[in-house]
Amino acid sequence: MYELAYPWMFALLPLPILIWWLVPAYKQKKDALYYPKFDELTDATGLKPQKSATVLKRKWFQYLVNFLVWCCVVTAMTNPQYIGEPAKKVKNARNMLIAADISMSMNTTDWFDADGNRITRWKAVQNVLTDFIDKREGDRIGLMMFGSDVFALPFTPDLDIIKHTVDETGIGMAGHKTAVGNAIALSTQVFEADSIDQRVMILLTDGQDSGSEIVPITASQMAAEDSIKIYTIGIGTKKSSQYELDDKTLKMIAKNTGGEYFNAGNVEELNTIYDKLNEMEPIQFEDEGYRPTRLLFYIPLGIGFLLAMSLQFITIVVQFFSSFNRRKS
């Protein structure tokens, strides 16, 4: 709907009439024609010279346009605005940490894209993960990439940064091994650095733990003590020639933290898993709704400006033709 923020400003509409009525006309002295026998003329006629004033008259359309311009200015001062439909406001109430395996096994090309072309497991994960992050507006997302080492990006509501980091991450950047235990252990430190209590972690890997300084099961128990819920996603199926997935450990990690284990053997299954995660951890909204507001004061202000410029242009044209006709005559 359309609303006026300050409708009482319309009380200013009669202001030009009051000024015209109460304030005296503007006076300006002008040189008169000098007449050498002026005194003799006044003596002969018996008239006494007096001061005089002439009030310049305007055309009716000038009064009309000026008043319309004033109406436009007053309308702009009322701050007209368009109030949109009520909408719920996204509430930042969850920290979600995405931990992705980028060890060399993720370079296996046993997955297919929508066109049937072979792609690496990591390329498929990148595509699906980007879509998932887009749907998490309202959450503060953190990112963790692990191989032999673990690299973490702190929680941020700026999802573009997270997606850019996912796109720019390559296989083997964190080493060749799969340090699942270290990734879970480091997640507790990442979560502790933030004040939001609701903590969710998505752990994605296609291999067995190797090179960790802490056993994954033990690390998951520590995470549970810090109220971290871990959803584990295993990449690969037993039909694959390069199946090294430790389903048992991933299921135990999820069980210890109150999460759930999923297995994905192709892009469609991975998409389905992320859809389920969206349902299980829905975006939270504020109870109080808000209405998007669009300010429209510039519309009457622009109309008033065009009217004023048009009046000025017409006045110049009329003066030009009047002067031209006088010279011609």
Domains of the chain: 2-85+292-328 (no CATH), 90-288 (3.40.50.410)
Give the pLDDT confidence score for residue 258 in this predicted structure.
93
| Rounded (10°) angle between helices 247-257 and 216-225 | 10
Give the pLDDT confidence score for residue 71 in this predicted structure.
93
Give the pLDDT confidence score for residue 157 in this predicted structure.
84
> How far, CA to CA in Å, does 80 sit from each of 155, 289, 296, 302, 308?
40, 22, 5, 13, 21
Q: What is the pLDDT of residues 297-306, one digit of tens each?
A: 899 999 999 9
Record the tokens describing residue 46, joined without a space. 């018996």
The rounded distance, in Å, linking the Cα atoms of 267 and 260 is 19
Q: Which residue has the tokens 């026998």?
A: 37
Give the pLDDT confidence score for residue 215 in this predicted structure.
93
Give the pLDDT confidence score for residue 249 in this predicted structure.
93
**Residue 141 CB coordination number (10 Å):** 23
Q: Give the rounded percent of residues in the chain with a pLDDT score beyond 70.
A: 84
Q: Give the rounded percent of residues in the chain with a pLDDT score beyond 90.
A: 28
Is this model's pTM higher than 0.75 or not?
Answer: no
- What residues contact 123, with CB distance under 8 A and at least 6 apart? 111, 113
The rounded distance, in Å, linking the Cα atoms of 194 and 202 is 17
Residue 2's pLDDT band (cuts 50, 70, 90): confident
